[in-house]
Copies of this chain bind each other. A is one copy, B any other.
Amino acid sequence: MESHVHIRSWQMVQPGAPIQLAEHDFSTSALEAGEVLVEVAGCGVCHTDLGFYYGGVRTGRALPLTLGHEISGVVVAAGTGEQALVGRSVIVPAVIPCGACDLCWAGRGSICRKQIFPGSDVHGGFASHVVVPGRGLCPVDDKALQASGLSLAELSVIADAVSTPYQAVLRSGLVRGDVAVFIGAGGVGGFGVQIAAALGAHVIAIDIDEARLASIADHGAAWTLCSKDKDPQVIRKAVAEHVKAQGWSPYTWKIFETSGHPRGQETAFGLLTFGAHLSVVGYTLEKVTVRLSNLMAFDATAQGNWGCLPAHYPRALALVLEGKVKLGPFIEKRPMSQINETFADLHEGKTRRRPVLLPAA
| Residues of A that sit less than 8 Å from B by CB | 103, 106, 108, 110-111, 113, 251-252, 260, 265, 269, 274-275, 280-306
With A251-B103, A292-B290 as known contacts, state yes or no: A110 contacts B299, CB within 8 Å: yes
Is the beta-carbon distance between B291 and A289 smaller than 8 angstroms?
no
Q: List 20 A-B contacts (CB under 8 A).
A: A106-B252, A113-B251, A260-B293, A265-B293, A280-B292, A280-B296, A281-B296, A282-B296, A285-B293, A286-B291, A288-B291, A289-B289, A292-B302, A296-B304, A297-B304, A298-B306, A299-B305, A300-B303, A301-B301, A302-B303
Is the beta-carbon distance between A299 and B111 smaller than 8 angstroms?
yes
**Secondary structure of the A contact surface, majority rule:** loop
With A103-B275, A252-B108 as known contacts, state yes or no: A280 contacts B306, CB within 8 Å: no
Residues in B whose Cβ lies below 8 Å from that of A113: 251, 274
Report the copy number of this chain in the oligomer: 2
Residues in B whose Cβ lies below 8 Å from that of A300: 303-304
| Further pairs besides A299-B304, A301-B301: 16, Cβ < 8 Å | A103-B275, A110-B299, A111-B252, A111-B274, A111-B275, A260-B293, A269-B292, A283-B296, A285-B291, A287-B292, A288-B292, A290-B292, A295-B302, A297-B304, A299-B305, A300-B304
**What's the least CB distance linking A243 to chain B, in Å?**
15
Closest Cβ neighbor of A109 among chain B residues: B299
Is the beta-carbon distance between A251 and B111 smaller than 8 angstroms?
yes
Residues in B whose Cβ lies below 8 Å from that of A293: 260, 265, 280, 282-286, 304
